[in-house]
Amino acid sequence: MKKQQIFFFIFLLVVNSVFAQKTKQQSTSSDVNAEIGTQLDLYNSLFRELNLYYVDTLNIKEMVQTSVDAMLYNLDPYTSFIPEEEFETFRSQTTGEYGGVGAVISYDKKKGIFVSEPYENKPAYNAGLRAGDVFKEIDGQKIKESHTTSDVSQMLRGIPGTEVTVKVSRPGKNGLLTKKILREKIVLDPVSYYGVIGKKTGYILLNQFTDKAADKVKTILYELRDNHAVDSIVLDLRNNPGGLVNEAIDILSYFLPKGTKVLEMKGKSKSEDETYFTKQSPIMPDIPLVILINESSASASEIVAGALQDLDRATIIGARSFGKGLVQRSIPLPNGGYLKVTVAKYYTPSGRCIQAIDYGHKDERGEGYRTPDSLCREFKTAKGRIVKDGGGITPDITIKDSSTYNIVYALYEQNLYFDFATEYVLKHKKIDSPQRFSITENDFNDFKTFLKQNDFSYKLKSEKQLELLKKWLEAEGYQERSSKAITMLEEAMKVDTEKDIEQFKDKIIQLINLNIVERYYYQKGKAQFLLRDDKVLNYLLKKESKED
């Protein structure tokens, strides 16, 4: 009898606890819904009064779009509203497929919107469009200064099998060229180059984790294994922004035992929690594996690199990755459009989240806090090595490419490598192979003349910051006191264009060569050229040579 009383008492406590919790949740939910209603009433009232009293006519749609964009961006850069008419463009970024002409377009304030790269053997290329062609008219609609690259891209896209007529101006040609292009289903290859480097090292350059990226990598691995008998693999994920998580899991399956835990997702809602395991037997379970990453390797790239590092299955080489450990999902909205919303964070097998920026806590400028190295937590790999969270994947071997914001970048920013390559192509029907080509000394002198003809000038990034400092000193009343120091800094930072061109000659020539090679050999040739002077790969090949 006593036991029954105790049991009944415990039962009552549990029921009361559950009921209290449920009541609390309902109360909280009710409070939140009430607050949403209050704020939406405020928003509606504000809009009504603006529409009634503002001196000019309001563009309602544009204002709502601006407020929605600002609200979502305040959460994190990845949560956004996608209008219905832009969803196909968004979808093509994950599938790598769209209906169009197959060309990359860019904007230049002098030229306007132009073809920066026609994909080899795609409709634009087959119709005769070439890099440097400037769009003047598409299907009878003139291209104006107000048009953006997004506008022109939408004009060029369409249902496969339909025709689009474009008029372009071409350097070296008088008048406009008219091209009729038959649209196709464009499928972008996620792997721009693969092959054997060194003696028997297989190399794969994976650009993005789009739909069927894993299938492409699988086909290449079988070819490298069966036809070339490679004894190691390099998977290059540098500048790979990520993509579909399932593609990353499938690629991990090629190198890890079936059933290996490689990723966890944890969200606010339990429905977003998920644990991923490899689903198939590996193709290359034991082959030595190297993963290359840099500052632009993000998301799915970090899933692959992080899992292989945690499981001690690969050596990670390069520079610290971007640090995107947030997961997005697209939700259709009732009135059209989609909400792309961050729903979870992902965690590597050791338990670390490599998200670099905490968007939930903002500084005085409204920017998320970056986790300092001192606060990164330590985790252990399968073999007990120390790895850290809080800021991307730190390579096992760090080899950082030197980046610069001097004259080398200024020439790129002003499209001068590109424009010189356009002129070069007019004078040269063919060039040497990507592995051997380089401009001559006379060509480099022509480039310097070309810069003078285009009135090239530039400012150092530090010079721009100095101008900002001068404004602040003036505003705060310290202009006179600091004038001598400012004058000395201005003198030290004076740009000598001719001297800078000679100082950075090697890097400038490399980028001229790259732009020219791309005109003749396209994406594959560009990749082959870049491998010539690749700092990271040269390190690997030297190491391979020493071991032999």
Mean pLDDT of the chain: 90
**β-pair type (191-197, 261-267):** unpaired
Q: What secondary structure, in 3-state letters, does 251-263 show? A: HHHCCCCCCCEEE
Assigned token pair, 521? 């050999």
pLDDT digits (tens, 9 = 90+) for 154-179: 999 999 999 999 999 999 999 999 99
Output 85 or 450, whichever has higher pLDDT: 450
Cα(222)–Cα(212) distance, integer angstroms: 16
Contact in structure between 317 and 64 (CB atoms under 8 Å): no
Contact in structure between 543 and 397 (CB atoms under 8 Å): no
Contact in structure between 156 and 164 (CB atoms under 8 Å): yes
Cα(57)–Cα(35) distance, integer angstroms: 31
Output 109 or 512, whichever has higher pLDDT: 512
pLDDT class of 390 with cuts at 50, 70, 90: confident
Please list the residue range(s) of the chain that carry CATH number 3.90.226.10. Answer: 191-398
Instruction: Tally Cβ neighbours within 10 Å of residue 90.
Output: 14
**Mean local confidence (pLDDT), 385-407:** 85
Contact in structure between 516 and 425 (CB atoms under 8 Å): yes
Q: Please report the pLDDT score of residue 268 as a whole number.
A: 86
Q: Please report the pLDDT score of residue 489 as a whole number.
A: 86
CB-based burial, 522-531: b 16+ in 10 Å, e otherwise: bbbbbbbbbb
Q: How far apart are the first and last CA of the chain?
A: 82
Residue 182, SS3 per DSSP: strand
Dihedral angle, C-alpha 385, 391, 392, 398, nearest 10 °: -60
Express the helix, strand and coil content of the chain in percent, nearest 5 each.
Answer: 45, 20, 35
Q: Please report the pLDDT score of residue 6 as a whole number.
A: 44
Contact in structure between 378 and 418 (CB atoms under 8 Å): no
Please list the residue range(s) of the chain that carry CATH number 2.30.42.10. Answer: 97-187
120-134, 242-256, 260-274, 475-489 — which is least confidently predicted?
475-489
**Mean local confidence (pLDDT), 22-35:** 66
**Mean local confidence (pLDDT), 386-405:** 85
Which H/E stretch holds residue 515?
helix 505-532
8-22, 38-52, 245-259, 392-406 — which is least confidently predicted?
8-22
264-278, 399-413, 477-491 — which is least confidently predicted?
399-413
CB-based burial, 140-151: b 16+ in 10 Å, e otherwise: eeebeeebeeee
pLDDT class of 511 with cuts at 50, 70, 90: very high
Contact in structure between 101 and 124 (CB atoms under 8 Å): yes
Topology (CATH level 3) of domain 191-398:
2-enoyl-CoA Hydratase; Chain A, domain 1 (3.90.226)
24-28, 225-229, 260-264 — which is least confidently predicted?
24-28
Pick the catalytic residue: 310, 389, 419, 534? 310
Q: Is residue 218 classed exposed, middle or buried when 0-12, 13-18 and 19+ CB atoms within 10 A define those classes? A: middle
Contact in structure between 235 and 202 (CB atoms under 8 Å): no
Sequential DSSP letters for 229-294: --SEEEEE-TT---B-HHHHHHHHHTTS-TT-EEEEEEESSGGG-EEEE--S--SSSSS-EEEEE-
pLDDT class of 429 with cuts at 50, 70, 90: very high
Of 492, 526, 493, 424, residue with least CA distance to 119: 526
Q: Mark whether 299 is an active-site residue.
A: yes
Pick the catalytic residue: 122, 324, 388, 526? 324
pLDDT digits (tens, 9 = 90+) for 302-316: 999 999 999 999 999
Cα(438)–Cα(434) distance, integer angstroms: 9
Strand partners, 289: 233
Of 234, 187, 241, 183, residue with least CA distance to 215: 187
Pick the catalytic residue: 299, 301, 321, 350? 299
Q: Please report the pLDDT score of residue 405 as a whole number.
A: 62
Superfamily of domain 97-187: PDZ domain (2.30.42.10)
Percent above pLDDT 90 for the chain: 68
**Mean local confidence (pLDDT), 313-321:** 96
The distance from CA 95 to its chain's CA centroid, rounded to whole angstroms, is 15
Q: Mark whether 484 is an active-site residue.
A: no
> Does 25 have pLDDT greater than 60?
no
**β-pair type (232-236, 201-206):** parallel
> Does 457 have pLDDT greater than 50?
yes
pTM confidence score = 0.86
Q: Please report the pLDDT score of residue 213 as a whole number.
A: 97
> Does 331 have pLDDT greater than 70?
yes
103-107, 122-126, 481-485 — which is least confidently predicted?
481-485
Listed as own residue / partner, the contacts of 476-484 with beta carbons closer than 8 Å and 24 or more positions apart are none
Q: Please report the pLDDT score of residue 548 as a whole number.
A: 60
Q: Is residue 95 classed exposed, middle or buried when 0-12, 13-18 and 19+ CB atoms within 10 A define those classes? A: middle
1-5, 128-132, 523-527 — which is least confidently predicted?
1-5
Q: Please report the pLDDT score of residue 11 as a whole number.
A: 39
> Does 254 have pLDDT greater than 80?
yes
Q: Please report the pLDDT score of residue 9 as a whole number.
A: 44
Amino acid at 545: S
pLDDT digits (tens, 9 = 90+) for 460-493: 778 878 888 889 888 888 888 888 888 888 888 8
Q: Mark whether 211 is an active-site residue.
A: no
Q: Please report the pLDDT score of residue 482 as a whole number.
A: 87
> Does 1 have pLDDT greater than 50?
no
Q: Please report the pLDDT score of residue 315 as a whole number.
A: 97
